[in-house]
Amino acid sequence: MTASANPIERSFELAAERCEDLTPLVYRHLFDTHPETRTMFRTEGSELVKGSMLAMTIDAILDFAGQRTGHFRLITSEVSSHDAYGTSRELFIAFFAIIAQTVREVLGADWSDDIDAAWRQLLGDIESLVAAQ
């Protein structure tokens, strides 16, 4: 398999080589950083919800950072859904930064300057997209 030229895609490819499932790591970071989020997930079946939510978010990130075929629109539609759940915009945006932080930790020394720059740009673009809603 050839490595992607897109630094965001490449970061996820490298993470996938090292970590079978980012879900527990991402949510551990989320709950450590924002303990109030623990109560946002029901106890029964929450692992499936978390996994599904993360998979959809990663799909949207990859599309937003890449071809923009439409999957990235999930970000804007989920802003409204999460508003209805009572999730602050700041927390909504923070989830993307937590994913980046988790990928960075999984990559360790392979987190390069170009990956870092791409993630910083992406997080800023997502913040702008959410703010425009």
Print pLDDT tens along the chain (133 aa). Answer: 566 789 999 999 999 999 999 999 999 999 999 998 888 876 655 788 888 999 999 999 999 998 888 777 888 888 888 878 888 899 999 999 999 999 999 999 999 999 999 999 999 999 999 998 8
- Please answer whether residues 7 and 117 qualify as being in contact, where contact means their C-beta atoms are separated by less than 8 angstroms: yes
- Alpha carbon 99 to its chain centroid, in Å, reads 4
b/e burial code for range 87-126 (CB count within 10 A of at least 16 → b): beeebbbbbbbbbbbbbbebbeeebeeebeebbeebbeeb
Contact of 106 with 15, CB cutoff 8 Å: yes
Q: Do residues 111 and 99 touch, judged by C-beta distance below 8 A?
A: no
In this prediction the pTM is 0.91
User: Which positions ≥6 away from 51 have C-beta within 8 Å?
Assistant: 21, 23
CA-to-CA distance for 115 and 19, rounded, in angstroms?
Answer: 18
